[in-house]
Each structure stands twice: as C-alpha cells, then as structure tokens.
Structure 1
Amino acid sequence: MIRPALILVSIGVLAVWLIVTGFQCGSSEMTTAKLAYSQHNLEKADSSFAKEAEKNPANAEAWYYLGRVRLERGNYAGMVEAYKQSLAAGKEFEPRIIEDKKFAWAQMLNKGVGHHNRSVALEKDPSKKDSAAAYRKMAIDTYRLAIVINPDSAITYQNLAVDDHLSGNYDEEIGYLKKALEIRKSPELSMMLINAYIQKAENAKKADKTTEAAENFNQAIAAMAAARAANPGDEEMLGTLINVYIEAGRTKDALPLIKEAVEKDPKNKVYQNDLGLLLLDQQNYEE
C-alpha cells in the first residue's frame, strides 16, 4: 500500500507593518489600539480593536487590524473571522489579507508536519505508542485549522488524510481525499483513495460485515476503473483491480481482465495461474 510523503511548505518571514496614522475613525478605541500595537502590547490592541469593530462593524480597517493582531498572537481561528468581517465591510485590505492568510496557512501546515514526524519517530518505540497517538492527534487538529485558513489547498487535505489513515479514521480519510481530488487530480491521490476503500472493505470482511465489505470493494473498483480509463497502460493498476475483484468474490468480472493481463504478459506465471483458477471456478474447461 502506497504511503505518500507529507509535503512541507516553507514561507518566508512575513513583514509586520502598521500605519500609525490614517485610521478610518479617530475614536478613542482606535487611538488606544494604535498605540498598544505600536508598543507591541498585543493583548490590549486585541481588546481595543475588538471594541471599535463591535461599535462600528462597517470599519473594515478595524477588522483588518484585529485580524492582524490575532495572527501575531497565534489565534488563527479568530484571525479568520476578523478578516471575514473586514472583507464583508470592504475590499481595501484584501491584498494584505490574502498574504497574511498564506503565511498563517503555511505556519499551520508546517506545524502539522512537525507533529506528524514526531509521531512517526515515537512510534518506533512500542512503549511510546500513546505519545505517538497524541502527536498524531495534534497533527490532525493542526491540519484542520490550516483548512479553516485556506480551504483550497490539496496539500493540506492530503496530509490530513495520511494521519487519519494512520489513526484508523478511514471515513474521514476518504472524505479528505475526495476533497483533495476535487482541487487537484493526481494518480497518487487516486491510489490513496483506492487503498482507503480496500482497507475499509478488508476490515469489514474480517468482521463478517458482508454488505459493508461489498460496498467498499465496489467503491475501490469504481475508483480503479476511473484511474484505468485515464491511464490504460498502468499494469500495476490492472493487477490490483484483478486482485480486488477476486477478493470481492466477483470472479466473473475478473476473468476478462485476467485474460487481458495474460495477453500483455504471457510469461507471467501468477496471471497464468489465476486464469486457470478462474476458468475452473467458472467451470470453463474448454479454455
């Protein structure tokens, strides 16, 4: 089963700026917030910008700087909400907001990768299994926050799917992989989705959940059929599809694929053996 490497994104240091004058409103809250921010008193700046935004919700500038303060405080969820309100009030700060959110997203993505790598390292020691699981949970939570900041990055969904798979959260993994594929088509993501369906099917089969197993085998088969249509020459996918058909008990559907595989690779003893067994299963003694 393919386990793709996580993707680490590095963003350069984001410059911090504040225009000391020129606020839209000369209220006491804005003046206090401006002074607190210039002195790097972020807690006071946060509360003062929040008061101004509450009093004057149409003040896009107050919402923007509230988001900016929250970014610097590491309150990314609060940042997202403040930036949303700023954009609702006006588009003046949109370019800055886009750059700020890129920075925050990269911070969370890289932090998630760090938690993931720590969990992998700890997992090598059986006595640290619980600690490894805790770091994996932190990775999942961090990736989810990254998605709140930037819901349009396939990388984040892919990394999140990896840790959900390792945690046995196959339904969540499948959902995130589907979302990633909506954003970016790739053979790697398709194979991850196929593997997730196969894993779910095999687990259900072991638990004697026949209907659930069949449903997930069928989902895997549908995904593989789509992948083969995009890349008909993928012999590895052909072999996997044959195996899944057989494991799903759909030997009749596997037969034409086995014949295709033998035609492509007539010296392959595994395919020759599988063909013979399937013909016997179908009581096709003439072939």
Structure 2
Amino acid sequence: MKKLVGIALIALLLVSFLLTGCRPPEVEGVVVDIQHGMYDKALEGAQKAVELYPDNAEAWYYLGFLYGRKGEFKKMNEAFDKALALNPDQKVKYDNVDVPLKKAVEQIRLNYFVQNHNSGIQDFNKANQTDDPEQRKQYLASAAKKFTAAHEAYPTRVEPLQPLALTYLQLGDTATAEKYFLETLQTNPNNDTLLSMVGEFYMMAGKLDKAQEMYDRALEINPQNVNALLAMAQLMTTKDDWEKAVTYFEKALELEPDNADISFNIGLSYYRLEKYQEAIPYLMRTLEKEPDNEKVYEVIGVCYIQGKMYEEALPFLKKAVEKFPNNHYLWNYIAIAYANLGNDEEAQKAYEKAKALESAQLQ
C-alpha cells in the first residue's frame, strides 16, 4: 500500500512538472499574480525572476508585459527584445491563452501603438479646431505625449513621426521633432517612406537643403517613390527651378498617369517657363479628368493669349464662357484674342462684358 502511495505521489509530481513546463517557481508566482490582478506584486516578482533566471524568455516576457501596463514602453521593449532573442517560440499567456511569445509581443506592441496613436490624432485635430490659444496648447501637449508613447510602444512603426513633428513644430519645438526623426533614421536608414517624411519636416521647418538631401536619399533607394518625386518637384518650385520641377513631375506622372493634379502642375511649370505650347497639352489632360475645374480653363486661356495663339484660343474660350458665363477673366481673354485678330467690334463687346462682370463682383 505504501508503495502504491509513493507511486501516486511521484506521478502527481510528474504531472505538476509537465504542466509548468519546467517553469521556475518565481516565474510561476508572477503568472499567478497576474491572473489575480496583483500587478504591482507581479512586477516585483518578474524583476526578481529575471535576476535569478536571466536566460528565461518567459520571465523577460512577463516583465515586459507588466512594464507595458504601467506605460513604461521603453522598458517594455527592452524586456521583450531580450525575450525574443532567447526564445521567440516560447509559449506564454496572452489573454488567458497560450500563444508563441513572438505573437504575444507583436499584439501587445500593436495594441499600445494603435491606442496611443489614434488618441494622439484626436487631440491633434482638437488643437487645430479650437480658437482658444491655451486650450490649443494643452491639446498639442497631450497629442505629443501620446504620439511619443505610440512611437515608444512600437519603435519600428513610422506613422507617429509626421504628426509628432507637426505637433512639436506647432509647439515651437523643432529641435525635439528633428530628434525623433533622426533617431528613427538611425534604425531605418533605408526606409524611403521615412526619408520622405523627414524631408517634409525639413520643408516645413524651412531647411530646404536638408529636405533635398532626404528626398535624394529616398529616390536613390526607391526611384518610384511618387511622394518623394512630388515633394522634390515642389521643392524645386520653391527654388524657382521650374526645369527641374518639370523633370520630377513628369517622372511622377509616368507612375500615376491618371493624376490630374500632377498634369496640372506640369502645365503650370511650363507656363512659368513661358513655354505656353508645351503647357497646354498637360492642362488639357487635367481638364479631361476635371471638366468642371474653372481654374484650369483660366490657365489654359492665359497660355493661349501669352503664346499669341489667338486663333486657337477663340474656340476654346467661347466654350469656356458657355460653361462659366460669369468669369470676367475668360471674357477678357476673348477681348484680347479678337483685338489681336483685328475684330475690334467683337473685342469691344467682350471687353465691356468683362468689365461689367468684374464691377458686379466687386460690389
């Protein structure tokens, strides 16, 4: 009988051993404390557990989990990184379910990232909707705190960086905004999307040479980065280098041939270069996509007039005033075209129509 009791006791111990999976008692205590909601006690236990068992991935995981609950995301990720380096496939508890450690870490990081990033966006939008300067400052400070938390929770995600930079820019702290961008670039030097974002930040800060450096790096990595191409084109317009602007806009249009804004900007760039004939086809292309865009009609009209293409101008302008009969610019262009073609009577009529419309709009 005693022998049977001994066998049963050994069997019970073996079952216990299998259930805990060789889990040290200190780690087991942390798990139990978490299950009972005693998080402060669990944190103390986890800190002791990693000291006693520095090669135990599960101990580091629970330490990271508990730091995350306290909002200490840098410490959370330090612990998670150690756990992942030791055993990414270690089974751990997440939402009372046994899952691989790497899956649990990914989900925890993502949850904290989404929670803080979305809340930061809400505060940022509120800041830009209020007219109260003090309230605006408070919302921006709150947004900065949440964007920073989102970035710390998931450091490889670049989404918070642009709004974080904008927030600090509006708070007047460009140095902090730049710091976050450059820190991230150190860990993601070949991320063309991130480089483009940093370029945008430098544009907003008025540091055009640094912006150009970032866009150049982005395009060297990915020549098909449309955002970087468009940003570089806009930068060239800021420098009044319209020839280079056209080059970048045209590369972007090759990648997005149905983008009406790009074709319009190419047309506008050619207009600034006084290459009116080259401008018109791109502007017409925009008009095909946006047939009700009154501004495009005006720019095409002025290209015809400035290019002294009076005969070609009249049919286009007559159709334009049928669509926009109260546009005094279009009537004025008609007057100029008729005058240069020697039809003074029609020129006078169109001129009087233009003046009447302009006077009416000023009243």
Smaller-chain TM-score range? 0.5 to 0.7
Higher Rg of the two aligned structures:
2
Q: CA deviation at 1:224?
A: 3.3
Q: CA deviation at 1:228?
A: 1.2
Could you tell me which of 101, 109, 113 is aligned with 1:105? Answer: 113
Maintained 8 Å contact 1:251/1:278: no
Q: CA deviation at 1:59?
A: 0.7
* Aligned position for 1:205: none
SS in 1 for 2:239: helix
Maintained 8 Å contact 1:147/1:153: yes
Percent identical: 18
* Aligned position for 2:58: 61
Q: Structure 1, unaligned stretches of length 5 or more? A: 1-20, 203-212, 281-287
In structure 2, give the amino acid aligned to 1:103. N
Maintained 8 Å contact 1:161/1:174: no
Q: Distance in 2 between matches of 1:223 and 1:165?
A: 28
* Aligned position for 2:239: 214
* Aligned position for 2:342: none
* Aligned position for 1:251: 273
SS in 2 for 1:52: helix
Higher relative contact order (CA 8 A, sep 6+): 1
Maintained 8 Å contact 2:117/2:146: yes
* Aligned position for 2:249: 224
For residues 62 and 25 of structure 1, do their structure 2 counterparts lie closer, same or farther at Cα, with a shift above 3 Å needed?
A: same
* Aligned position for 2:153: 149
Could you tell me which of 259, 281, 289 is aligned with 1:260? Answer: 281
In structure 2, give the amino acid aligned to 1:83. F
| Deviation sequence 1:43-94 (CA, Å, 0-9, x none) | 2322321222133221100011111112222222222221111101111211
TM-score (norm 1): 0.61
Q: Distance in 1 between matches of 2:268 and 2:305?
A: 15
Maintained 8 Å contact 2:270/2:278: no
SS in 1 for 2:257: coil
* Aligned position for 1:270: 299
Q: CA deviation at 1:263?
A: 5.2
Q: Distance in 2 between matches of 1:80 and 1:51?
A: 18
Provide the alpha-carbon RMSD of the alignment: 4.5
Q: CA deviation at 1:40?
A: 2.4
Task: Number of aligned residue pairs: give it.
Answer: 236
Maintained 8 Å contact 2:276/2:306: no
For residues 67 and 155 of structure 1, do their structure 2 counterparts lie closer, same or farther at Cα, with a shift above 3 Å needed?
A: same
- 1:49 matched to 2:78: no
